[in-house]
Amino acid sequence: MAERILTGIKPTGQLTLGNYIAVLKNLKKTNERGECFIFIADLHALTLPIDPAVLRQNSIDLAAFYLAAGLDPNKSAMFLQSSVSAHAELNAIMQNYLYMGELSRMTQFKDKSAKLKENAIGLGLFAYPVLMACDIVLYDANIIPVGEDQVQHIELTRDLVNRFNNRYGNILTMPKAELRKVGKRIMSLSDPSVKMSKSDPKGDVFLKDEPAVIRKKIMSAVTDMGCEVKYDPENKPGISNLIQIYCAMKDIEIPEAEKLFEGYRYGDFKKAVADAVIEELEPFQNRYKEIIANKSYEAVLKQGAEKASKIANETLKRIQKAVGLLQLD
Contacts of 72 (CB under 8 A, 6+ apart): 28, 31
Beta strands in the chain (DSSP E): 4-9, 35-40, 76-80, 143-145, 176-178
Burial of 219 (C-beta count, 10 Å sphere; 0-12/13-18/19+): middle
Task: Give the three-class secondary structure for 303.
Answer: helix
Considering the complex, what minimum distance in angstroms separates the CB of residue 236 from ligand ATP? Answer: 18
- Which residues are paired to 130 by β-bridges? none
- Closer residue to ligand ATP (CB): 97 or 124: 124
For ligand ATP, the binding residue among 147, 175, 203, 238 (CB under 6 A) is: 147
- Closer residue to ligand ATP (CB): 45 or 316: 45
Whether 208 is a known active-site residue: answer no
Whether 302 is a known active-site residue: answer no
146 binds ligand ATP (CB under 6 A): yes
- Closer residue to ligand ATP (CB): 129 or 147: 147
For ligand ATP, the binding residue among 199, 303, 313, 320 (CB under 6 A) is: 199
Number of chain residues interacting with ligand ATP (CB under 6 A): 21
Distance CA 313, CA 85 (A): 9
Kindly identify the residues of this chain, within the stretch 14-43, that bind ligand ATP according to CB under 6 A: 16, 18-19, 21-23
Considering the complex, what minimum distance in angstroms separates the CB of residue 95 from ligand ATP? Answer: 20
Q: Near ligand ATP by CB under 6 A, which window of 11-19, 97-105, 208-216, 272-280?
A: 11-19
304 binds ligand ATP (CB under 6 A): no
Residue in 27, 18, 29 with CA at minimum distance from that of residue 65: 27
Beta-carbon neighbour count of residue 88 at 10 Å? Answer: 13
Whether 112 is a known active-site residue: answer yes
CA angle 292, 306, 38 (to 5 degrees): 55
- Closer residue to ligand ATP (CB): 11 or 319: 11
Q: How far is CA 256 from CA 232, 248, 272, in A?
A: 15, 12, 14
Task: Give the three-class secondary structure for 318.
Answer: helix
Considering the complex, what minimum distance in angstroms separates the CB of residue 148 from ligand ATP? Answer: 7
Residues that bind ligand ATP (CB under 6 A): 9-10, 12, 16, 18-19, 21-23, 146-147, 149-150, 185-186, 195-200
Residues assigned a catalytic role: 112, 195, 198
